[in-house]
Each structure stands twice: as structure tokens, then as C-alpha cells.
Structure 1
Amino acid sequence: MRFTLVAGAGLAVALSAGIAQAQSGADDPERNWAAIARCAAIGSAAQRHACMDDVVRRAGVLDPVRVAQAERQDFGREARAEAPRPPARSAPTPAPAPVPVVDEIATTVRGVRTVGFQRLRVTTAEGSVWEQTQAEDFPTGPRIGDAFVIERTTLGGYRCRFGRSSRYYCQRMD
């Protein structure tokens, strides 16, 4: 608990300089610092992080493109970060549209090999590794540069498809 408070306070101090520089005269740095201090006093880590995200979003420091790239990079990982909750108080300015949830990734094959009986392990262009979970025979295997699509299914599963193959169940291995 003490480490969390110290880490939260350190984060607040580190972000305060960037937030103060990002202001365009409409908001003053003292008000932003007061908002950061209020966030640091929140006991729940998830609520505290959501509060900090709100402060940096209003200051124009949190880039929605960077948030979307992080979501794409973490697609398929089991330990997904919890989406930030909206702040408890209403913001004076309208909040930007939320980043849409990614349900499908289209990429290309960077590497492929077999693991076990009729099971594939595919490495994507971004470096994520996806392994086939059920044995299945394909007329032709994937080749480097082939299109590779990963889609989210119900109950937290994933289905992969390369080229014009049928879809098969897969899981992220990295």
C-alpha cells in the first residue's frame, strides 16, 4: 500500500511538469496540480489511474492514437489492462469519444513453424506469436507475407486465418 502511494505521488510529480507545459492559457497549472493531488488521494488504484488519465486527457497530453496503438499491441494477451473508468465528477469540457474495442487484427505472417501434430505457430509482422490449439490439416500452409487475421470469439477465445484457409482456434503465446 505504501509503495502504491509513493508510486502514485511520483507519477503525479513527473506528470505535473508536462501538464503545466501543455496548457494553453485556458487552464492554469495550479488547477491541474490540484487535480493531480486529488487523484493521488484516491485509495483504489483503478479509480486513481482513471482520475490521472482524465487529468492528462483534459490537458491534451494523452494521445488517443497512442492509446489505440497500445490496445493493438496488447490484443490477445490474457492480462489485459482494465479500461479506465470515467471520472466520478463531471468534466467541464466534453470528453472525447472512447477508443473502440478491437475485435479483429489483420496483419501478415513473418514466420511459421509446426509444433506438435498438425499444429502451427505463426509469428506476425508485429512480433506476436499465435499457436493453433486444435490439430487440423490445411491443404497449403501459411507462407511468409501471407495475410493473417486474428478475431476475438465468444468466451475470450480467438480464431486465426491465413490467406484463404479456414478459421482455426488459436491462442497468443508471447
Structure 2
Amino acid sequence: MRPALLFTAIVLSAMPGAAPAQEASAQDALAPFAACAKIAGDRERHRCLDAALRSTGIIDEKQAEARRQENFGRTPAQVEARSESAVPPAPVAPDPSRTAAAEPTRTADPERQPLQATVASARLIGRDRMVVRTAEAGEWASVERETFRRTPRAGDPFEIIPGSLGGYRCRIERTTLFACRRID
């Protein structure tokens, strides 16, 4: 048995109410995971498995979105270091009302979507550098010399746009666009 299917079988067998009479329903529950296991590409297979886990209710959508927003702009090493020091979340029982089959998703990568935030504070460093602390997405600093028309105020809209090669562009009030990086 493949590791993904074995893991899923163990998770499903540990669920309350699992009994021999439910073997047929367990096979039906494993079907989306089996379909995902056949996908050759790592990224597509991961997306498919995520969709299967979400459809069974094992992954809480609100927690996943909060984690994505909290880690936006961090490198994988920074995310891993933060998660090692955190207490792991309690397991969530699957929602039996969500039984849709998982299909490989072909949507845009959520990590590549712009993040809308709000300025909590901002300060100029010299005449041509700025550091902006957001209420939702940490602290961001400009990486190139840039002339800023004004320092943003608390409550101003702030957008972080993923760029190519792992870079980011920050936008203040839909007018000022500059290269930036997360510094917290």
C-alpha cells in the first residue's frame, strides 16, 4: 500500500464509529485519496490531497487561511522554524456532511495571490527607504531607493504582491509601488 493511502487508512480507521459494517463507506472515502495518489506531479498531487482533506473536513479552512496569511512573505525555512517552536494544533474530527470527491485543482497558486493588508505604522529611514508594519501581515521594508510622496498613515490600505524569483512589490493606497521584503 502506498504511504499516502496507508496514512489515510490509518486516519479513517481511527475515526469514531469506524466498524466493519462501514468498510464500503471507508472504501468510498479513500477513493479521492487513491485518485490523488495516481497524479505524477508533486505540486498537483499535493493540491489534490489538500482538496481531499478539505472535502472530508480534516483541514479547517479558516485555520489554513489564517496560517497562510500569517506566513505570507516568509521563506520556507522561516515558516518551518516558527512551526517547530509552536504547539501543534489539536486534531480536528472530519465533518461527515462534506463528502465531495476531490479533483485535482487547476486554480492559481494561493501563495502567488496579492495580500490585502492595513497599515498599522510606517516610518521613513533616511529620505528614500521605508518600513511599514501592517496589522495583518508583519513588517515590510523597501529594498530599493525610492522617493515616497508621503509616509502612509495607520489605516491606509497596503497590498503585497508576489513577484518573480521570490521577490515582492508593495503598494500603498494603489499609487506608490515599490520593491519590498518581509523583515520580521
How many Å separate the matches in 2 of 1:115 and 1:18? 55
Confirm or deny: 8 A CA contact 1:19 1:56 kept in the other structure.
no
Alignment of 1:94 onto 2:102: yes
Structure 2 partner of 1:128: 138
- What is the aligned partner in structure 1 of residue 71 from structure 2? 74
When normalised by structure 1's length, the TM-score is 0.58
Q: Deviations over 1:21-73 (max 9, x none)?
A: 8xxx68667998xxxxxxxxxxxxx99xx598577445322133433332222
Q: Does the residue aligned with 1:94 lie in a helix, a strand or coil?
A: coil
Answer 1 or 2: higher relative contact order, Cα 8 Å, separation at least 6.
2
Closer/same/farther in 2, CA of residues 163 and 58 from structure 1, 3 Å limit:
closer
CA distance 1:95–1:15, change in 2 (3 Å): same
* CA RMSD, Structure 1 to Structure 2 (Å): 4.3
Q: Which runs of 5+ in 1 are unaligned?
A: 1-8, 33-45, 82-91
- Please give the secondary structure, in 1, of the residue aligned with 2:171: strand
Q: Which residue type is aligned with residue 102 of structure 2?
A: P
The Cα shift of 1:111 comes to 1.1
CA spacing shift, 1:165–1:55, aligned 2, 3 Å = closer
> Aligned match of 1:155 in 140, 150, 165?
165
Please list every run of 5 or more consecutive structure 2 residues that lacks an aligned counterpart in the other structure.
Answer: 1-6, 30-41, 80-99
Equivalent residues of 2:162, 2:169 under 8 A apart: yes
The change in CA–CA distance for 1:107 and 1:15 in structure 2 (over 3 A counts) is: farther
Cα deviation per residue 1:141-167 (whole Å; 9 max; x = unaligned)? 111111111111122211111125321
